[in-house]
Amino acid sequence: MRYMMLIHHDDAAMAKADQKALWTDYAAFNEALSKAEGGSSGERLEPAAGGTIVRSNDVLDGPYADTKEQFAGYFFVEAADLEEAVAWAKRCPSSRYGSIEIRPVYVPKGDWK
């Protein structure tokens, strides 16, 4: 199963963390992810305040939802089941400063890409 792992951050909690250790852990995590089959480090997003919302023809400033934690990035894993995906979520350094949301990717019958 392919899972999209959505990272939600509490920026304040992240800012308090030892930055050097955090990003060293992130580098190690990405390294481990790249060794795993089907795993890929995704992208980190600019803070949610820099987002833009489009609804019908209206264009608004972000963020979309005013929540304590904001969507901050994502990665993908290929896992046999949810348990394996959870193991990856636990390894992700962001799980200590926010939440990791695991969403199974919809697999269409035909490949459109």
Partner 1 sequence: MTEAGEAVRTAERVARDSYGRLVAFLAARTRDVAGAEDALSEAFAAALRMWPTDGVPDNPDAWLLTVARRRQTDAIRRRQTRKAGEEHVMLMADEIEAAAAEGEAVPDRRLALMFACAHPAIERGMRAPLILQTILGMTAEDISAAFLIPPATMGQRLVRAKTRIKDAGIPFAVPETEDLPERLEAVLDAIYAAYTKGWSEIGDAGVPEIAGEAIWLGRLLVGLLPAEPEAKGMLALMLYAEARRPARRDGKGAYVPLEEQDISLWDDSQIGFAEALLREANKAGPSGRYQIEAAIQSAHTARRATGIDNWHAVVALYDHLLARTHSPVVVLNRAVALAERDGPADALAAIAPLADDKRMQTYQPYWAALGHLLGRTGDRQRAIEALTVAIGLTTDGAVRAYLHGRIVALQDG
Partner 2 sequence: MQYMLLILGDEKMMNAATVVDDTGMSAEYAVYNEAMMKAGVIRGGERLRPTSATTSIRVRDKKAVVLDGPYAETQEQLGGYYIIETKDLDEAIDWAKKCPAAQFGTVELRPIWPTVRQ
Decide: is 30 part of the binding site for partner 1 (CB under 8 A).
yes
What's the residue count for the chain? Answer: 113
CA distances from 62 to 13, 80, 84, 98, 100 (A): 21, 36, 34, 20, 21
Which of 16, 44, 90, 103 is close enough to bind partner 1 by CB under 8 A? 90
Q: Closest approach of Cβ 79 to partner 2, in Å?
A: 11
Interface residue with partner 1, options 37, 58, 61, 66 (CB under 8 A): 37
Side chain identity at residue 113, one-letter code: K
d(CA 79, CA 53) in angstroms, rounded, equals 33
Q: Which of 36, 53, 60, 105 binds partner 1 (CB under 8 A)?
A: 36
Two structure tokens written together for 5: 């792992």
Q: Kindly identify the residues of this chain, within the stretch 38-97, that bind partner 2 according to CB under 8 A.
A: 43-46, 48, 50-57, 59, 62, 64-65, 67, 69, 71, 73, 82, 85-86, 89-90, 95-96
